[in-house]
Structure 1
């Protein structure tokens, strides 16, 4: 009996060691076959990480602020600063880049380098967010994980719909981008700001221009928004509310008089990635107290 017990333990030990060895070999094999990745575009970076491949990213751009540890990686720069030579010197296997983020010459150089280059659309709606998650899931052969992200996004948007049904008020919201007293821009049509404000159940201020336009002294008093929305970084760089006082016309608005200035993380607000629904809920709650 004693011999049988000893034999049984010996068999378990051998099997256990063999299983551990196989797992280690499998992990080593996966590490060796995982491509080195460079991302250009914060939404792409967030999705790649959410799919479980963040450790394969060897460098990224300045907009990739989530998760925070991505900013510890070597930076390839920002938009027009980015050069093909800098990217290629980091020896990536794959390059995932947001459409229209790099200039055409740089993109052509990357495509001619022999590296795998994926050019992906920047989402600005529920449909394009789902499409991007699906596409990146296909690239990494992670359909199940992509489906989980999409399912959670849909749940968030369903919750948002309930909130909007319960409170149908549509306060006017203006998004301004402040880079100092002399560099303040107002968001117009076809911008992430217009899309996010509308998604959140508020009303973007009515303007006729597209994109971002320098703010004129008479614009804010004429539009008179109930809320003014900014990136957190711009709010802080301007010196908070008192620093924003120097923006001409801002003190005449309802938003200023009622202390209804909203500062949100830039990537969270504008990325339209997996957390898009959460960001819209947060904005709804800030504009529908």
Structure 2
């Protein structure tokens, strides 16, 4: 199987090289049983590992926290810190990149290097999650394993639908990202947070912006969420609930008064990968006691 993957990789690489007239020819042979892969994006990393190819990953980025052994590999950094030179110095055969994760000039440098570069979308829905698993499974010639992951995801989401049918309340949930009292952001529309909250039977707080926006002092009292969702890392960095007291307006919310903070691993709740259904079930249970 690994030789087949290597052979497919060689064909892809040959096509990529021949499509660029100014690109030097890169030699590769089917004897390369284990193409060295670098991943940039935690969801991609998790899927590659779940498909049985974690041992082919030679380096990855800081968002690739699952499984935990991925963090023992050399790190290429985080988002804007990542440079093409650092990736290329590790001499990978294949670079899998999450769309919009790296600066475009870095992606262009990688593409012009003669290495095989594949840019993949970041899913924010159950359909997109299944599609990405299927796409990476096809690239790695792991169709059956990919189908198994999708089947498990489908079963998890079916379980979630059953739970929501039994309890159809929709508590208001706000996601805030805290990097200290002076750096607090609120999630708006078209974010992983709004998608995950809705999938998990909650109601994202109503805002008039997209993406993440700095939290204003009057925002939380006006929105008055029933629950506040946070990453574990941000909650701990803020000093726990008492540390969050420094955020203006937070003590006026129902979430604060009822001690309804939901703290989850950042990659787990935001990745929309193979464990999407499990994460959504956990969030449902925490917001629908």
Residues of 2 paired with 1:31 and 1:89: CA distance?
22
Residues of 2 paired with 1:52 and 1:31: CA distance?
20
Aligned ranges 1:241-252 → 2 under 5 Å: 241-252=241-252
Say whether residues 1:112 and 2:137 are aligned partners.
no
SS of 1:145 mapped into structure 2: helix
The TM-score, its normalising length taken from structure 2, stands at 0.89
Aligned ranges 1:124-273 → 2 under 5 Å: 124-273=124-273
Residues of 2 paired with 1:110 and 1:185: CA distance?
32
- CA deviations on 1:155-196 (whole Å, 9 max, x unpaired) are 000000000000000000000000000000000000000000
Unmatched tracts of structure 1, length 5 or more: 1-29
- CA deviations on 1:202-225 (whole Å, 9 max, x unpaired) are 000000111111111110000000
Report the alpha carbon displacement of residue 114 of structure 1 after superposing the two structures with TM.
1.1
Residues of 2 paired with 1:78 and 1:213: CA distance?
20
Report the alpha carbon displacement of residue 231 of structure 1 after superposing the two structures with TM.
0.3
Unmatched tracts of structure 2, length 5 or more: 1-29
Residues of 2 paired with 1:101 and 1:261: CA distance?
29
- CA deviations on 1:114-144 (whole Å, 9 max, x unpaired) are 1111100000001110110011001100000
Residues of 2 paired with 1:153 and 1:126: CA distance?
9
Residues of 2 paired with 1:219 and 1:271: CA distance?
27
Residues of 2 paired with 1:287 and 1:71: CA distance?
30
Aligned ranges 1:61-100 → 2 under 5 Å: 61-100=61-100
Residues of 2 paired with 1:243 and 1:149: CA distance?
39
Larger Rg: 1
Report the alpha carbon displacement of residue 113 of structure 1 after superposing the two structures with TM.
1.0
Say whether residues 1:278 and 2:278 are aligned partners.
yes
Residues of 1 paired with 2:47 and 2:226: CA distance?
34
- CA deviations on 1:61-113 (whole Å, 9 max, x unpaired) are 00000000000000000111111110000010000000011111111111111
In structure 2, what is the equivalent of residue 3 of structure 1? none
Residues of 2 paired with 1:101 and 1:220: CA distance?
29
Residues of 2 paired with 1:225 and 1:178: CA distance?
16
Report the alpha carbon displacement of residue 31 of structure 1 after superposing the two structures with TM.
9.1
In structure 2, what is the equivalent of residue 17 of structure 1? none
Residues of 1 paired with 2:130 and 2:57: CA distance?
22
Residues of 2 paired with 1:106 and 1:225: CA distance?
40
The TM-score, its normalising length taken from structure 1, stands at 0.89
Moved over 6 A (4+): none
- CA deviations on 1:232-261 (whole Å, 9 max, x unpaired) are 000000000000010000000000000001
Residues of 1 paired with 2:31 and 2:210: CA distance?
46
Say whether residues 1:52 and 2:21 are aligned partners.
no
RMSD (CA atoms): 1.4
Q: How many residues align structurally? A: 262
SS of 1:33 mapped into structure 2: coil
Residues of 1 paired with 2:187 and 2:47: CA distance?
26
